[in-house]
A = this chain, B = another copy of it.
Amino acid sequence: MQLGLIGLGKMGANMRERLKGAGHEVIGYDPRPEVTDVPSLDELAAALQAPRVVWVMVPSGAPTRETVEKLAEALSPGDLVIDGGNSRYTDDAPHAELLDAKGIGYIDCGVSGGVWGLANGYGLMAGGAAEHIERAMPIFDALRPEGDRADGFVHAGPVGAGHYAKMVHNGIEYGLMHAYGEGYELLTAEPLITDVAGTLQAWTHGTVIRSWLLDLLVKALQEDPGLAEISDYTTDSGEGRWTVEEAIRHSVPANVISAALFARFASRQESGSPTLKAVSALRNQFGGHSVKPSGS
């Protein structure tokens, strides 16, 4: 079928390629002239046959909101918008309402798989009305991994459920990566282990902890032995924070995911931890414990 695709960055461009490979017609729009198929959203609308399906793949927050607002103007009743970006699920209901007022349908779809999705297919979590999901299914089927639809696609619930599921997915991801990280660190700290990279590689098959993330960690260590070329400064793009906020809202103890999130925060405290400065100052006060002067 025919699809409009807004946002041809790293993710969007790969998705376009996978969709085309599956025989779909994709008309892409991106503000960068060198990659776009059409010069404007209006021309994208004009180029698509009604009823249209438009997939939005732009950064979350203001860029996505502005795109949805423009689409509410540019599209027609009966069209369908899918937000495949990493929007916070609380953005979905307003987007759906805005579009619904124009007779335009809305689906939120969490997309996982990163740069590997082009080859492997993407894990997809969709929220929205059943008839909208049904209509977009050929697109979902092309994007998801081959095999059973249920292994790579879910209609998780009404509008918002797709991004909610993706947020939780990313929260889990924080915890998984940190668990592997702690294990890696412990292996590197123990002199008995003379082959850290080999140990991780041995874990990739047959063990209980085998996973795609572990495969990637083995690959990273092959490309950069000892991770010598990388700093520990770790950013976050929001989903981990949102997950912990949701855990608080639902009174869910999220010890592991929050520990992983907080460790990222700490990794970015380049002038040191004020908390530990206070602890160190206290030790100095009561015990005369020697402290390390700032800057030494």
Contacts and interface: CB of A to CB of B under 8 A. Distances in A.
Given A210-B211, A282-B216, A288-B115, A254 B202 contact: no
B164 A193 contact: yes
A157 B194 contact: yes
A74 interface: no
Interface in A102-127: 112-117, 120-125, 127
A24 interface: no
Contacts of A256: 175, 178-179, 182, 256, 259-260
Contacts of A268: 251
A212 B208 CA distance: 7
Give the interface residue-count category, chain A.
35 or more
Given A229-B294, A231-B294, A152 B206 contact: yes
A188 B286 contact: no
A267 B263 contact: no
A237 B217 CA distance: 27
A160 interface: yes
Interface in A146-168: 147, 150-158, 160-161, 164-165, 168
Interface stretch (A27-35, A36-44, A55-63, A273-281): A273-281
Most chain B beta-carbon neighbours within 10 Å: one of A89, A157, A278: A278
B204 A292 contact: no
5 contacts: A125-B202, A168-B199, A189-B250, A211-B212, A232-B276
